[in-house]
Chains A and B, each alone.
Chain A
Amino acid sequence: MNQGIDLQGSFIRAMVDLGFSPGVAKTLWLPLPMGVILVAATVSIFVTVWLERKISAAAQQRIGPEYAGPLGTLQAAADGIKLIFKEDITPAKADPWLFTLGPAIVVIPVFLSFLIVPFGQNMVITDIGVGIFLWIALSSIAPIGLLMAGYSSNNKYSLLGGLRAAAQSISYEIPMALAVLAVVLMSNSLSTIDIVNQQSGYGILGWNIWRQPAGFLIFWIAALAECERLPFDLPEAEEELVAGYQTEYTGMKFGLFYVGSYVNLVLSALIVSILYLGGWEFPVSVTWISGLLGISETTPWLQVITAAIGIMMTVFKAYALVFIAILLRWTVPRVRIDQLLDFGWKFLLPVSLVNLLLTAALKLTFPVAFGG
């Protein structure tokens, strides 16, 4: 197996050569990837907000943000700074503690989930054994924050929005977890690195989307519902609930919900690309090309190129999915709450169970293709 570039190992070796003890070197290393991922996640908000507004404008034959920076690229920055300086209102009779905690509880797990998103063989903050399970666990914290926000606002629309958000998250978490389980069954591991490695070697043909087409669709639909994107954006349905659980939020607290929803969208797209689209794999296997050209896999420059391609491929796949999500948002009408719950419990859940059983059966019958 190609071990790829090992930045952590090189950094620690360099520090030990400089005279630090290995423990200190490791401590010095730890904050670096975290900081990089934090900055990358924050930048992804600006990119996604800009994409959203430009693509929605294009879908409606408009121009979209034009005057804030070149092509309106600074629009999200202007919105953000404005929100920071806006007055912070806590409504009369609201519960100040829950009201403040709500947005924080929504945002923190989303950023924490970036712990397990790999951009290359060794390019992940931590490769823990329960990787994808940690993400599922963290994503079920957010609805508690939404419910808190809705309940503490002392507003009927907020309360309804919060209840809807909780109901929606709980009912779509189950099909999503079952779809993930089918993938885990094939790769015999919960670690995100192992899941990608299991898809590697055959280029685009080895990706899980060919072995799990139903799982891919179920996961994508459930992920959209978890992010409250438009066919399922009932918790903030403007026409019915003003702005749902966000109704009473001003300034940066509202900004936090905004940040949380966009980072969550990017995160879900990254997870889909890891589970089903081969993660950092190039559509044509890089190992195969280098073998064809007779270059050793351990050549340093090849490792750097492979790592760069890996990062670019992961981000590219994620943003292709974000693009689809945005187009969906601006073309599809919203479903009703009863349709949403019916669809989740009566259709997605049985289909994902069948998918899981089918995967297990195929794994027993064709252990070569389905990871014996």
Chain B
Amino acid sequence: MVMKAAADKNSILAPGEMLQSPAAPPSVTHDLSENVILTTVDDLYNWCRLSSLFPMLYGTACCFIEFAALIGSRFDFDRFGLLPRASPRQADLIITAGTVTMKMAPALVRLYEQMADPKYVIAMGACTITGGMFSMDSPSAVRGVDKLIPVDVYIPGCPPRPEAIIDAIIKLRKKVATESMQDRAYTMQTHRFYQRAHKLKPVPPILTGKYLQMGTHSSPPKELMESMGMPVPSALAEKTAHEETN
């Protein structure tokens, strides 16, 4: 998706410079898909994708409360065919609901990369657009998730109302509807960075009962016993004396 700079003088690009990520799809494939059969197939394919955008259950802060309201009966995003999935592998859409911190950033990128193409991102709330109210002085907030993952639709608001999310979903549906099957080769992700093997290794049991069998659990501390006038067991007295000398 690289375009030749327009030759006119008003262009902000230097002569010969390429524009990355233009606002319109590349025109060659676009002309190709003017073909009747291809457009019909494209329409069917796009309709299927836009009718079943499975969002991932992802919420890191207060915005998720509004997102949760959207799942419930009052706003009901199942009307648009959105079925929340807990696993990123089966999700098509990630709505970043809530502040993303530096510590959460690698996890977010990893989740995004685990999703299968084609995938979409909606940045929800001021926090995920610019850092929101944390953009002034926070040492840890990420100033906008678009620094980490490519965002398709932004929803301003702190938090945005559920209607705003529905609006964003409708806008995303429109965006999906304009895509073409032939662009898949361009938009597919080529490199995935966060892939790692889980190391399933045995660990020794932690509930062995030894903790409860310790001497301090069967008799009170030495000082307490002395003050109560109880005889101090010789083993305990020796042990404390030994510990004190250490």
Q: Do A and B bind each other?
A: yes
| Neighbouring A residues of B117 by C-beta, 8 Å | 86-87
| Neighbouring B residues of A63 by C-beta, 8 Å | 76, 78-79
In the complex, whether B214 has a CB less than 8 A from a CB of chain A is: no
| Secondary structure of the B contact surface, majority rule | loop
| Neighbouring A residues of B51 by C-beta, 8 Å | 67-68, 74-75, 78-79, 82
* A194-248 CB contacts (< 8 Å) to partner B: 238, 242-243, 246-248
Q: How far is the CB of B56 from chain A (nearest CB, A)?
A: 11
Residue of A nearest to B117 (CB): A87
Pick from A53, A65, A85, A92: contact of B196, CB under 8 Å: A92
* B65-95 CB contacts (< 8 Å) to partner A: 72-73, 76, 78-81, 83, 85-87, 89-90, 92
In the complex, whether B106 has a CB less than 8 A from a CB of chain A is: no
Q: Contact mask B188-220 → A, CB, 8 Å, 1/0?
A: 100000011110100000000000000000000
* B42-65 CB contacts (< 8 Å) to partner A: 44-45, 47-49, 51-52, 57
Question: Which of under 10, 10 to 19, 20 to 34, or 35 or more describes the interface residues of A?
Answer: 35 or more
In the complex, whether A61 has a CB less than 8 A from a CB of chain B is: yes
Given A242-B87, A243-B85, A85-B45 contact (CB < 8 Å): yes
Residue pair A250, B198 in contact (C-beta under 8 Å)? no
In the complex, whether B237 has a CB less than 8 A from a CB of chain A is: no
Q: How far is the CB of B79 from chain A (nearest CB, A)?
A: 4
| Neighbouring A residues of B116 by C-beta, 8 Å | 86-89, 250-251
Q: A351–B182 Cα gap in the complex (Å)?
A: 61
Q: A159–B197 Cα gap in the complex (Å)?
A: 13
Residue pair B52, A57 in contact (C-beta under 8 Å)? no
Q: Contact mask A45-88 → B, CB, 8 Å, 1/0?
A: 00000000100010011111111100010110111011001111
Residue pair B197, A75 in contact (C-beta under 8 Å)? no
Pick from A78, A156, A243: contact of B52, CB under 8 Å: A78
Given A68-B52, A75-B81, A159-B90 contact (CB < 8 Å): no
Pick from A64, A85, A156, A248: contact of B89, CB under 8 Å: A248
In the complex, whether A370 has a CB less than 8 A from a CB of chain B is: no
| Neighbouring A residues of B197 by C-beta, 8 Å | 92-93, 154
Residue pair B86, A242 in contact (C-beta under 8 Å)? yes
Given A57-B76, A63-B76, A79-B52, A91-B195 contact (CB < 8 Å): yes
Given A154-B198, A155-B198, A159-B200, A86-B76 contact (CB < 8 Å): no
Q: A242–B81 Cα gap in the complex (Å)?
A: 21
In the complex, whether B118 has a CB less than 8 A from a CB of chain A is: yes
* B158-209 CB contacts (< 8 Å) to partner A: 188, 195-198, 200
Residue pair B49, A64 in contact (C-beta under 8 Å)? no
Residue pair A247, B87 in contact (C-beta under 8 Å)? yes
Residue of A nearest to B84 (CB): A238
| Neighbouring A residues of B83 by C-beta, 8 Å | 53, 79
Q: A249–B88 Cα gap in the complex (Å)?
A: 10
Q: A78–B79 Cα gap in the complex (Å)?
A: 13
In the complex, whether A111 has a CB less than 8 A from a CB of chain B is: no
Q: A68–B83 Cα gap in the complex (Å)?
A: 13
Pick from A60, A81, A91, A154: contact of B72, CB under 8 Å: A60
Residue pair B49, A82 in contact (C-beta under 8 Å)? yes
Q: A60–B116 Cα gap in the complex (Å)?
A: 30
In the complex, whether A254 has a CB less than 8 A from a CB of chain B is: yes
| Neighbouring A residues of B48 by C-beta, 8 Å | 77-79, 81-82, 85
Q: A251–B79 Cα gap in the complex (Å)?
A: 22
Residue pair A250, B86 in contact (C-beta under 8 Å)? no
Residue pair A247, B89 in contact (C-beta under 8 Å)? yes
Residue pair B89, A249 in contact (C-beta under 8 Å)? yes
Residue pair B78, A57 in contact (C-beta under 8 Å)? yes
| Neighbouring B residues of A78 by C-beta, 8 Å | 47-48, 51-52, 81
| Neighbouring A residues of B198 by C-beta, 8 Å | 154-156
| Neighbouring B residues of A243 by C-beta, 8 Å | 85-87, 90
| Neighbouring B residues of A159 by C-beta, 8 Å | 200
Residue numbers of A with Cβ under 8 A of B are: 53, 57, 60-68, 72, 74-75, 77-79, 81-82, 85-89, 91-93, 154-156, 159, 238, 242-243, 246-251, 254
**Inter-chain pairs besides A57-B78, A75-B81, A82-B92, 13 sampled, C-beta below 8 Å:** A62-B72, A63-B76, A63-B79, A72-B79, A79-B48, A81-B48, A85-B49, A87-B188, A92-B196, A242-B86, A243-B85, A249-B89, A250-B116
A-B contact pairs, 25 of them (CB 8 A): A61-B73, A63-B79, A64-B76, A64-B79, A75-B51, A75-B52, A78-B48, A79-B48, A79-B83, A81-B44, A81-B48, A85-B48, A86-B92, A86-B116, A86-B117, A86-B118, A87-B117, A92-B195, A155-B198, A156-B198, A159-B200, A243-B86, A246-B90, A247-B87, A251-B116
Residue numbers of B with Cβ under 8 A of A are: 44-45, 47-49, 51-52, 57, 72-73, 76, 78-81, 83, 85-87, 89-90, 92, 114, 116-118, 188, 195-198, 200
Leading 3 A-B pairs by shortest Cβ distance? A93-B197, A78-B51, A250-B116
